[in-house]
Amino acid sequence: MAVDWTDRGIVLAVRSHGENDAIATLLTEKQGRHAGLVKGGAGRKFRAILQAGNLVQAEWRARLEGHLGNFSIEALQAYGGGILNDRLALAGMSSLCAMIDATLPEREPHPQTFAAALVLLSHLGDPLWHAHYVRWELALLREMGYGLDLRSCAATGTTENLAFVSPRSGRAVSRAGAGPYRERLLVLPEFLKDDTTDDDVPPPGDVRAGLVLTGYFFERSIFAPHHQELPQARSRFLDLLGR
């Protein structure tokens, strides 16, 4: 018996399949990360639609649930169109899509991750975008079961002067609690502390420190156990922030 559904989806990745077709991977609102064959997807008609970060309306059909299935796709919103001259914003969008594609299990709904990613894509290029991206990665870690505890110091219990994160426990550490282990700890940037307002635009160095922090735990808990590395798109984003 044929299986089909219709859903909104964010284009994560596209690869050619034969001369004219393509296999597209989407993060859909209700079906999760899902792949399907797009007939003619390698042609001019779909070139602008099947760009990573675009929002599409997708209809998926297959003879059986476990099959790859076929996508019929229509464009809803091309988020990358307004940032074509912004290398950093483009790198951030690519990193967002690559991280979703590399971490979320296939065909498992993650509606909160979809909603948060859509908000990020809707505000590409905003001054606070990079800070919100780091917070989004923290939320993705929680979604995967590896959330960090940044509320109080692991050593003293205080909620004041938090400045580091333990690479072992994922808990915050205060300046006083760091003691002689300061050099072994990860930096906790100011904008990730609860008393920081969302109106504060952090300096690029703080955003980079936030990405180093989240990247460490993604590598340790998600990628290294499977003998994988962080996606190249994510590494490029980090590199551009350091320039």
Residue 7 vs residues 21, 64, 71, 89: alpha-carbon distances, Å: 21, 18, 11, 26
pTM: 0.93
Give tens-digit pLDDT for 61-116: 998 888 889 999 999 999 987 788 899 999 999 999 999 999 999 999 999 999 99
Question: pLDDT-derived band of residue 1, with 50, 70 and 90 as boundaries?
Answer: very low
Give tens-digit pLDDT for 37-66: 999 999 988 989 999 999 999 999 998 888
Give tens-digit pLDDT for 130-187: 999 999 999 999 999 999 999 999 999 999 999 999 999 999 999 999 999 999 999 9
> In order of start, what are the domains of the chain with their CATH numbers?
3-77 (2.40.50.140), 83-150+188-241 (1.20.1440)
